[in-house]
Amino acid sequence: MSGDPFADMMVAEMPYLRAFALSLSGSTSVADDLVQETLVKAWTHAGSFEKGTNFRAWLVTILRNTYFNQYRKLSREVQDSDHVHAGQIAVGGEQESSASMRDMQRAINLLPPDQREILLMIGVTELSYEEAAQICNIAVGTVKSRLNRARARLAELLGLTGDGPAGADRAIEDRKTLRQS
Amino acid sequence: MTMNEDGHSPANGRRNPATDKGEELAEEGPSLDPRVQEQLGRVFRSFCDDLVHQPIPDKLAVLLARLEAKQRGKE
């Protein structure tokens, strides 16, 4: 795209980085600030990236540390006031999809930060357990237990019962009914 | 990959059941009902896919171009 390999790598990782920032902070404005700051830091410290290691994991490390050092308090305030970015996300015009995204983001916002970051590193940025463990400086077993606790809490918050294959779809049906009435 | 059926990332797919099992039981706590897990996996995967496919704001592309131009100026 630009000829600069480092810039091209950053462009390629941008969707993952921004998705991670959005879901971690729960706020569009905080997410964009976070990504901007991460890009600048990554560019400035390009020399500290070890070739042959996972570039995305390196960027996620920068973003995650920036978030916990500077933005966490701010993004909680923003979350409270702007009711979470998910409401503004464009989802192909499908209202059901948009509604379930909003519910999921709300539930994620309620997770303790240590569980939330693990869930999103594995789910959104697709890092391995080992990479997540290294970034958070914890054991792989701790990654697994945080992930399991996050999943249990999410299922509870979303009211998933596993009751029939279509529990989530039924929830969507309920919403449609609500809108029509 | 987001969450597989069993909730494990493929990168972690090479496991030694003999040594992993005890550790898992000790550290991972009770696991979800498989049907709940399947349901959650499906909803969460679609959430992640949607997020990753959000359009990138212009200002981020502009910032990157600026960083690059500055770099070229130095060289």
If pLDDT is split at 50, 70 and 90, which confidence band does A61 have? very high
Which residues of B are less than 8 Å from A40 in CB distance? 63, 67
Q: Do B46 and A97 touch (CB under 8 A)?
A: yes
pLDDT score of A94 more than 70 = no
**What average pLDDT score do residues B24-32 get?**
57
Task: Round the average pLDDT of chain A to a whole number and report it.
Answer: 83
pLDDT score of A167 more than 70 = no
A164 vs B5: CA distance, rounded Å: 16
pLDDT digits (tens, 9 = 90+) for A122-162: 999 999 999 999 999 999 999 999 999 999 999 999 998 87
Task: Round the average pLDDT of chain B to a whole number and report it.
Answer: 71
Q: Do A123 and B65 touch (CB under 8 A)?
A: no
pLDDT at B13: 42
Residues 115-174 of A with CB under 8 A from B: 122-124, 126-131, 141-142, 144-145, 147-149, 151-152, 154-155, 158, 160-163, 165, 167-168
- Domain coverage including residue A155: 5-180
Q: What angle do CA A152, A155, A160 make, to 5 degrees?
A: 140
pLDDT at A161: 81
pLDDT at B64: 86
Query: A64: which residues sit within 8 A by CB, 6+ positions away?
Result: A24, A117, A121, A135, A136
Total number of domains in chain A: 1
Q: Do A104 and B35 touch (CB under 8 A)?
A: no
Complex ipTM more than 0.90, yes or no: no
Which residues of A are less than 8 Å from B4 in CB distance? none
**What ranges do the domains of chain B cover?**
10-74
What proportion of chain A, given as a percentage, has pLDDT over 70? 74
Give the CATH number, domain containing residue A25: 1.20.140.160
